[in-house]
Amino acid sequence: MDNQSETRDFLATRRAKITPEQAGLPVYGGNRRVPGLRRGEVALLAGVSVEYYTRLERGNLSGVSEGVLDALARALQLDEAERAHLFDLARAASTTLKPQRRRAAVQPVRASVQLMLDAITNAPAFVRNGRLDVLAANQLGRAMYSEMYGGPVRPANFARFLFLDDRSRGFYPDWERAANDTVAILRTEAGRDPYDRGLTDLVGELSTRSEEFRTRWAAHNVRLHYTGRKHFRHPVVGDLHLMYEALDLPADAGLSLLVYTAEPGSATADGLRLLASWAATQQSEADQAQKPAPTQSGPAPLQQ
């Protein structure tokens, strides 16, 4: 990712979202040539010169102080995710020695983490990285995303499934929201780790193959993804309304554990029990199919 162009486009798109009325500025007659605030208005609100703000919006965040970043965040009315993204961009710009772009290697999940996942038997759970690769899951988690696991690419990836697999349209009843959130999460990760070649490759693939992704990527929206509710329509058990919690794994930088839970006594709780039963049946059938055929014993048949 090019930090300078990322910074330029992020600040420009945030500025375009704020009207003078929202910023508490007087509005005079005449046509405005910009959809949101002018650069001079942002500079006024942030308490910096127009020349300095123009330098920042051109993508040069090198050496900018935290005080100026805080002032920009207030002027542009950034939310928590947007503010964190701005600071990530500034950190990347201020690095004296840029790290080499890392290979697209997939980080392995430790055996103890997989054991922890397998110990969670009543809730779908999985571990993912920042570019939305699913690196490990428990049995209910694999059953939950059975259609995504049906794709040919490994590791399975939420963004690739959502934008390149037509089945995702049925799996996510509110597909537009899921698409917006997914791209915003990837954009957040791009600011946090601009030297992840795997993420760059994924964004390039999705931009080439999906106009829906390409349009959303250009919006530069960002999002934190720690807790909330989601609605799924599973092909076997139907509608599931689940709560989720995402927890970072401190010993495994960049990896997060996500667990879905249902309201006790709800139809979704019944659906998860049915899904667990279906998953157990699928696993039993798979185990039987992998067993070697029994060898024949006894006397050889007589020759005619």
- pTM, two decimals, is 0.84
What proportion of the chain, given as a percentage, has pLDDT over 70?
Answer: 90
Any idea what the Cα angle at residue 270 is, between residues 267 and 276, rounded to 5°? Answer: 145
Q: What is the pLDDT of residues 24-37, one digit of tens each?
A: 888 765 677 777 89
Based on the fold, state whether residues 127 and 242 are members of the same structural domain.
Answer: yes
Least confident of 38-42, 151-155, 228-232, 297-301: 297-301
Predicted confidence band of residue 284 (pLDDT cuts 50, 70, 90): confident
Q: Which of 94, 122, 140 is the last residue of a domain?
A: 94
Q: SS in 3 state form for 178-228? A: HHHHHHHHHHHHHHHCCCEHHHHHHHHHHHHHCHHHHHHHCCCCCCCCCEE
299 part of a folded domain: no
Distance CA 284, CA 175 (A): 33
Based on the fold, state whether residues 79 and 150 are members of the same structural domain.
Answer: no
Question: How far apart, in Å, are the Cα atoms of 45 and each of 52, 53, 77, 79, 230?
Answer: 13, 11, 10, 17, 37
Q: Which of 39, 67, 94 is the last residue of a domain?
A: 94
74 part of a folded domain: yes
Based on the fold, state whether residues 90 and 223 are members of the same structural domain.
Answer: no
> What angle, rounded to 10 degrees, do the helices at 3-17 and 80-94 form?
150
Based on the fold, state whether residues 69 and 164 are members of the same structural domain.
Answer: no
Domain with 246, as residue range(s), is 111-285
Least confident of 207-221, 257-271, 277-291: 277-291
Helix, strand or coil for residue 56? helix
292 part of a folded domain: no
105 part of a folded domain: no
Based on the fold, state whether residues 61 and 190 are members of the same structural domain.
Answer: no
Burial of 184 (0-12, 13-18, 19+ CB in 10 A): buried
Q: What is the pLDDT of residues 178-210, one digit of tens each?
A: 999 999 999 999 998 888 899 999 999 999 999
Based on the fold, state whether residues 119 and 190 are members of the same structural domain.
Answer: yes
> 123-138 in b/e burial notation, b at 16+ Cβ within 10 A?
bbbbbbbbbbbbbbbb
At residue 294, the pLDDT reads 65
Based on the fold, state whether residues 55 and 145 are members of the same structural domain.
Answer: no
At residue 101, the pLDDT reads 47
Distance CA 150, CA 134 (A): 13
Nearest by Cα to 144 from 267, 234, 263: 234
195 part of a folded domain: yes
At residue 300, the pLDDT reads 56
Based on the fold, state whether residues 63 and 204 are members of the same structural domain.
Answer: no
Least confident of 108-112, 135-139, 169-173, 204-208: 108-112
Least confident of 22-31, 46-55, 275-284: 22-31
At residue 304, the pLDDT reads 46
Q: What is the pLDDT of residues 213-257, one digit of tens each?
A: 999 999 999 998 899 999 999 999 999 999 999 999 999 988 999
304 part of a folded domain: no
The yes-or-no verdict on residue 302 having pLDDT over 90 is: no
Least confident of 75-79, 167-171, 289-293: 289-293
Average of pLDDT values for 43-48? 94
Based on the fold, state whether residues 50 and 170 are members of the same structural domain.
Answer: no
Based on the fold, state whether residues 119 and 89 are members of the same structural domain.
Answer: no
24 part of a folded domain: yes
Based on the fold, state whether residues 131 and 234 are members of the same structural domain.
Answer: yes
Q: SS in 3 state form for 125-188? A: EEEECCCCEEEEECHHHHHHCHHHHCCCCCCCEHHHHHHHCCCHHHHCCCHHHHHHHHHHHHHH
Beta-bridge partners for 303: none
Based on the fold, state whether residues 166 and 278 are members of the same structural domain.
Answer: yes
Distance CA 196, CA 48 (A): 33
Average of pLDDT values for 129-156? 94
Predicted confidence band of residue 7 (pLDDT cuts 50, 70, 90): very high
Q: Which of 37, 62, 94 is the last residue of a domain?
A: 94
Predicted confidence band of residue 97 (pLDDT cuts 50, 70, 90): very low
Distance CA 67, CA 52 (A): 14
**Any idea what the CATH number is for the domain that residue 73 is in?**
1.10.260.40
**Any idea what the CATH number is for the domain that residue 173 is in?**
3.30.450.180
Count of domains forming the chain: 2
102 part of a folded domain: no
